Amino acid sequence: CGSISTRARFLRRLDRTMGSLDIRIFGDPVLRTPARPVDVFDDALRKLAADMLDTMRAAPGVGLAAPQVGVDRRLFVFDSGERSGALCNPTITWMSEETQEGEEGCLSIPNVYFPVVRAMHIRVEAQDLDGAPVVEEVSEFEARIFQHEIDHLDGILFVDRLEPEVRKEAMQAIRDMLLGL
C-alpha cells in the first residue's frame, strides 16, 4: 500500500534526527532477512557499533541489531542500565526452562508494546568487536534484551512470538501506527 510506504519513509526520516543512523521500520525487508556473520573485525565495525549505541540511546532503546539500521551483519548492541556492550555472531547455546513474561517493544515498531514470554536465563557464545570469543550468561532483563536482538539477527520480530489472538491485535496496532491513526 502506498500510504504505508509513505509513512515508513516519514518515520525513517524522523528517526534520522534521533541518532546517527536510520532505524528501519516494520515492513522493510531487511528486518525479515537473516543476517550474515561478521567476518571482518576492524575500525569500521567498531565505528558501526558506536554509532548503533548512540542511535539506540537517542531513540531511546535498550538494544539495537545491525539489520535495524540496514546492515546485514550479526551484530547487536545493548544497554541494560547496568552495563552496555556489543556482540558479534551471537548464538544462544542454552536456555532455562524457567520463563518470564514481560512487555516488549521495538525501535522498528514504534509505540507498539505487547507481553512476550522469554527464557529467564540464557547462555550466549559470541565474539567481541576484536573477534575474541566471549561467553555471556545473562538473566532476567538482559536475557530478554539478548533474545530480542538475536531474534532480529534471525529475521524474527517480537510480534512473531505472540499468541495468535494477541498477534492479531499487535498487527492491527502496527497498521494503525504505520497509517498514523
Residues forming the active site:
149
**Cα separation, 88 vs 110, whole angstroms:** 25
- Which residue(s) pair with 114 in the sheet? 104
H or E, element range at 100: strand 99-106
**Cα separation, 5 vs 178, whole angstroms:** 8
**Cα separation, 8 vs 125, whole angstroms:** 34
Burial class of residue 168 in the structure, from the number of CB atoms within 10 Å of its CB (0-12 exposed, 13-18 middle, 19+ buried)? exposed
**Cα separation, 134 vs 121, whole angstroms:** 17
The Cβ of residue 33 has, within 10 Å, a number of other Cβ atoms equal to: 12
Grid coordinates of 10: 516519514
DSSP state for residue 156 in the 8-state scheme: -
